[in-house]
Structure 1
Amino acid sequence: MSSHPTGACHLSCIARKDSVISTADETVVVGGVDAHTDFHQAAVIDSIGRHLATQAFPTTPDGYHRLLDWLRSHGDLIAVGVEGTGAYGCELARYLRQNQVTVPSR
């Protein structure tokens, strides 16, 4: 009998490129960012879609670093959706990709 709620999506492992990453010891999380001119509003959810936290970060190199550290502090970060990767979010998306974070293209 499963310990997970009926209909819940439990991620025991995630395929990432040519490898499989076990997540048995750490919570899998996904980030989302609403990009703005002066700040980015970030949110993080777990593998079954529970909202864990929301926080705003400045659109500066230090702000991008703090945003990524904050997302990773919640668990194994597997991807970040960034609104406006061709506009306000493009620098953040570039920073995340340079730091080995999957950022889906629009």
Structure 2
Amino acid sequence: MFFELNGQPRVIRVPNRLVKSSTEQRPKAEAGNANHIGAPMPGVVATVAVTTGQEVKEGDLLLTIEAMKMETGIHAERDATIKAVHATPGGQIDAKDLLVELQ
């Protein structure tokens, strides 16, 4: 809304409370669950090196995250099979977002 008060132009923003937020809620990694691999920090997923059903060995690269001009590699902590991949390259993530589920 625009109006003039004492010769000065004024702008007032009136929020429409009927409009719902379009922010997507991502699942979070459960603390203490060895099958959940969560994001250590907010950032952008640079690459995803695994697919669903793939077997990984301890130390294998799962994905890389870019944050503050640095890349961080997320590696498998044990031998497992990938149950689900919840990250996509170029996707924005927050800390503790669930990235990969293991079996």
Tell me which protein shows more helix as a share of its residues: 1
Structure with more relative contact order (C-alpha pairs < 8 Å, separation 6 or more): 2
Give TM-score scaled by structure 2 length: 0.26
Q: Which has the larger radius of gyration?
A: 2
TM-score (norm 1): 0.25
More strand by share: 2
